[in-house]
Amino acid sequence: MGISLFNLDGKIALITGSTHGLGMAMAMGLGKAGATIIVNGNSSQKKIDDAVLKYQKAGIKAFGFKFNVTKESEVINAIQEIQNNHGAIDILVNNAGIIKRTPLEEMEVHDFKEVIDVDLVSPFIVSKHIVKSMINRKQGKIINICSMMSELGRNTVGAYAAAKGGLKMLTQNMATEWAKHNIQINGIGPGYFATSQTAPIRVEGHPFNDFIVNRTPSGKWGDPNDLAGAAIFLASGASNFVNGHIIYVDGGILATIGKPSNEN
C-alpha cells in the first residue's frame, strides 16, 4: 500500500501567528499529519514557549521562533535560522493577521495602513524570502489565510476587507508566477468559528450569534478543527495540481444569499 496522499512526514511547516486560535488549529492538523511545526508569534517569548509545549504534548515535533512578519530584516534572519537548524521550509502558512473594527470615515490612516501591513504586505514579505528555496528545490506549498471578507464587505471592517481581498489576488498572482516551479499557492477562507475571541458574542440571544447561526446554512459556528482538513489537503501531495484557489471553510455562507428571518 502506497504512502497516503495526505502524509506530511519529513516536511517542515512554518505557520505564522500559530500560538493560538485558528493558526494553532491548522498547525495541529499539519503536525498530526507528520509535519514538523515551526511556531511563530510576536507578542512574547513565553507565549511562543507555551504554544510549543502544547504541540509537543500532542505528540507533535515543534520549535518556536519569535519574529515580526512585517519587518523584512527579522523575517530574513528567522528564515535563515530555521533553515540552518531544521532544514528547508516545505510548507508556509501565512496566517498572522489583525483586524480593527472602525467605520471608514472615522478610521485613522495609520490604523488602516497597519492592517494592510500585517494582513497583506507580510504574506508577500515572508513568501518572497521562502519561495527562493522552494524554486531551487522545485517544490513547495504556500497557503494564504484569506477570509470571507476576500469576497464580501461588512460594516466597520473596510481595512481588513481591503487587505483580504488583496490577499486573494496576491494568491492568484503568486500561482501565476510560481506554479511553473512545481509550487502550489492557494488560500483558505475561514467562516465564523467558535474561538475564545468569539466566545462573548456566541451566547444564545446575542444579536450577532443569532445572525451567524441564521446566516450559515449549516446552522452553527465552525469548530477550529474543521480547518485542519483543508490545511492538510493544500499542504500535501493531494493538491499537487491545485493552484491559485481559495477554499472557503464557511458552512455554506458564501453559497447563499441568506434566508428570511421567519424561515426555519
- Interior CA angle at 74 toward 68 and 76, to 5°? 125
Catalytic residues: 160
Neighbours of 168 (CB within 10 A): 20
Nearest to 135 by CA among 170, 72, 82, 184: 184
Contact 125, 75 (CB under 8 A): yes
CA quadruple 54, 55, 59, 62: dihedral, nearest 10: -140
Instruction: Tell me how far apart the alpha carbons of residues 197 and 141 are, in angstroms, rounded to a whole number.
Output: 29
pLDDT per residue as tens, the chain (264 positions) = 456 899 999 999 999 999 999 999 999 999 999 999 999 999 999 999 999 999 999 999 999 999 999 999 999 999 999 999 999 999 999 999 999 999 999 999 999 999 999 999 999 999 999 999 999 999 999 999 999 999 999 999 999 999 999 999 999 999 999 999 999 999 999 999 998 878 989 998 999 999 999 999 999 999 999 999 999 999 999 999 999 999 999 999 999 998 766 666
Q: What is the DSSP string of 3-67?
A: PPTT--TT-EEEETT-SSHHHHHHHHHHHHTTPEEEEEESS-HHHHHHHHHHHHHTT--EEEEE-
26-49 tens-digit pLDDT: 999 999 999 999 999 999 999 999
Write the CA distances from 45 to 25, 62, 122, 214, integer angstroms: 20, 15, 20, 40
Give the span between the Cα atoms of 27 and 95, in whole angstroms. Answer: 10
Listed in sequence order, the residues at least 6 apart from 165 whose beta carbon sits closer than 8 Å to its beta carbon are 149, 150, 151
Which pLDDT belongs to residue 1? 40
**pLDDT at 197 (0 to 100):** 79
